[in-house]
Amino acid sequence: MVWQPHITVATVIEDDGRFLFVEELKAGRMVLNQPAGHLEADETLREAALRETLEETGWEVELNGLLGIYLYTAPSNGVTYQRVCFSARPVRHDPDRKLDTDINGITWLTRDELATQPERWRSELVLRCVDDYLAGISGPLALVRD
């Protein structure tokens, strides 16, 4: 078997102290995650982040920083994911937009509200990315080369 990490993108979107999360059904339970998904063929990382955010939340956003690059191996299946996480600000919401089929809904939570619900995190990266954002960790988008 050839080991190959899965490349994913995620977006931390903050508005007045609250963060945008998706509620999705995974392995029979409802979990919280940042808008996130897999990089598709012939797509840049930035394009993937914007697309996934719109498809999963109905929000158009403006990317404003590179939050980090994370490696995560899922204990449930042993798959390793490379997550490229961006920070963004909300621009416009289309409440009538049909969301991806695996998305149950969206919610805005503070960091503390999120922290009290670890059983609902899709992975520990959900809180870690918010904490990194709040710690001021950010690189310029120019670091991401297409």
pLDDT confidence of 96, banded at 50, 70, 90? very high
pLDDT at 129 > cutoff 70: yes
Whether residue 119 is contained in a domain is answered as yes
Contact, 144 vs 33, CB < 8 A? no
Asked whether residue 107 is assigned to any structural domain, the reply reads yes
- How far apart are the C-alpha atoms of 63 and 142, rounded to whole Å? 11
Mean pLDDT of 14-27: 95
The CATH code of the domain that includes 136 is 3.90.79.10
**Rounded to an integer, what is the distance from CA 132 to the centroid of its chain?**
13
Q: According to the model, what pLDDT value does residue 2 have? A: 75
- The better pLDDT of the pair 36, 4 is held by 36
Secondary structure in 3-state letters for the chain:
CCCCCEEEEEEEEEECCEEEEEEEEECCEEEEECCEEECCCCCCHHHHHHHHHHHHHCEEEEEEEEEEEEEEECCCCCCEEEEEEEEEEEEEECCCCCCCCCEEEEEEECHHHHHCCHHHECCCHHHHHHHHHHCCCCECHHHCCC
For residue 118, the model assigns a pLDDT of 97
pLDDT of residue 78: 87
Q: What is the pLDDT of residue 41?
A: 94
Could you tell me if residue 146 is inside a domain?
no
> Which CA distances in Å does 132 have to 25, 41, 86, 116, 139?
25, 29, 11, 17, 12
| Position 46 in a domain | yes
Give residue 143's pLDDT band: very low, low, confident or very high (50, 70, 90).
Answer: very high
Confidence of residue 54 (pLDDT cuts 50, 70, 90): very high
Tell me, yes or no, whether 117 lies in a domain.
Answer: yes
pLDDT at 6 over 90: yes
Residue span of the structural domain in which 84 resides: 6-140
pLDDT above 80 for 33: yes
C-alpha span between 15 and 144 (Å, rounded): 24
pTM across the whole model: 0.94
**pLDDT mean across residues, the chain:** 95
Is residue 1 in a domain? Answer: no
Domain count, the chain: 1
